[in-house]
Amino acid sequence: MKKSLIALAVAGAMTAPIVAQADATLYGSIRVGLANADTSDNDGDWQVTDETSRIGIKGDVDLGLEGTTGYFQFETRLRADNGEFAGVGEKNARLALVGAKGAWGAAQAGRMYTPHWLWTSSVADAGWNHANAGVIREVGLRQPNTVAYISPDMSGFQIAGAAIMGGVAGDAAGGDENDNDMDAYNVAAKFSAAGAFVGLSYMSVDSDYIGGSDYDILGVAASYTVDAFKVYARYQDEESVLGTVGDDIETTQVGGSYTIGDTILQARWTNIDSTAAGTDGDQWMVGVQQNLGKRARVWVEYADVDDELVEIGEDFTNEARGFANTGGFGDTLSIGYRLDF
């Protein structure tokens, strides 16, 4: 009798975690590249690179509420070039959030993609494989200390708002005298229907948070997909009051892709015009991707970058908070292999 009770207790203890884990999904993407980058860090040597590999867990949790479900997601970078589990920092810590979703929309808190990235920047960046050359003037990519609300899809129309509250003290040199609880906020809207997509975002960052000056970012993006062709355009205007990174930086991107079965050909033009740095330069990218099955791909991408951009690319700061994340600029040839699970 006693034995069977113990057995029952043991069985109960073992089943409980299994039930709790039932809705969690372990996922990841391992991406290794071989890149030849002509940058100040790497003068044309071939290098085995990690192309932002990541591993994560996500899932839904029953809250016992009618029409509302809890969810969570944790995702971190796992470096495929040297095996390190990455720590904090924009490119390393990726996502850590909990939320609740229902017919009313979704609310979440933690470290997450900003609506600005999801609905404007990613329109021009998603689909490119090489980590550095593909990331260009992506501001506020993922933010920590954030709460956000995303509306439900209303016939293709959606709005979102996010507030970043990092508890950063005010009165930084040259900063805002008022100590606001909210260090930054982002409001955005998007509309998508019949292959067309339009996204609009405004983001305001307090000087104390980013350091130096108040920082406003306006982004707009559009894409259109018809059959095998996709074209897109993105415009972003960043303005800062004191201008450690320039008073006014305008980024314009136009690109497209052509899908032939499992083969994808793509090209993109980017222009960055910075008034303070007096810089106006272009980046050209072309890429070929071959999907191997549903969960693997190989690619070859080439980026040609004007020398002017190489110079100013290294002056942008605050990468740790996801602002002015330019990556390593320079002419880059990248070949890579990616497996998802």
Partner 1 sequence: MLTSSLRSGITAASLGVVLVAAPVMAETEQDPWEGFNRSIYSFNETVDRYALKPLAQGYRYVTPDVAEKGVSNFFDNIADVGNLFNNLLQFKFEAAGKTFARLTFNSTFGLAGLIDVATPMGIEAHEEDFGQTLGYWGVGSGPYLMLPLLGPSTVRDGLAKPVDWMVDPVGDVDHVPTRNTLYGLRLVDTRSRLLKAEQIISGDKYAFIRDAYLQRREYQINDGAVKVKYDSDF
The H or E element containing residue 75 is: strand 68-77
User: Residue 159, interface with partner 1 (CB under 8 A)?
Assistant: no
Of 12 and 293, nearer to partner 1 (C-beta) is: 293
93-102 and 296-305 beta bridge pairing: unpaired
User: Residue 45, interface with partner 1 (CB under 8 A)?
Assistant: no
The set of residues, in sequence order, having a beta carbon less than 8 Å from that of 219 and lying 6+ positions away, is: 116, 119, 120, 121, 199, 200, 201, 202, 203, 234, 235, 236, 237
Of 37 and 222, nearer to partner 1 (C-beta) is: 37
Q: Give the shortest CB-262-to-partner 1 separation in angstroms.
A: 6
User: Residue 288, interface with partner 1 (CB under 8 A)?
Assistant: yes
**What are φ and ψ of residue 17, in 5° steps?**
-65, -35
Report the residue from 265, 282, 311, 314 that binds partner 1 according to the rule CB under 8 A. Answer: 265
The interface region with partner 1, picked from 39-47, 54-62, 190-198, 285-293 by CB under 8 A, is 285-293
Of 13 and 260, nearer to partner 1 (C-beta) is: 260
The interface region with partner 1, picked from 25-33, 94-102, 110-118, 286-294 by CB under 8 A, is 286-294
Q: Contact at 8 Å (CB) between 201 and 115?
A: yes
User: Residue 298, interface with partner 1 (CB under 8 A)?
Assistant: yes
Of 276 and 288, nearer to partner 1 (C-beta) is: 288
Give SS3 for 312. helix
In whole angstroms, give the CA distance from residue 333 to residue 153: 39
Nearest by Cα to 172 from 242, 239, 238: 242
User: Residue 260, interface with partner 1 (CB under 8 A)?
Assistant: yes
Token pair of 324, please?
A: 């002015």
Nearest by Cα to 27 from 60, 58, 50: 58
In whole angstroms, give the CA distance from residue 120 to residue 139: 11
In the block, tokens 């339009």 appear at 198
Site map 312..341 versus partner 1, x via CB under 8 A: -----------------------x------
Of 119 and 299, nearer to partner 1 (C-beta) is: 299
Q: Can you give the binding site for partner 1, defined by CB under 8 A?
A: 258, 260-263, 265, 288, 290, 292, 298, 300, 335
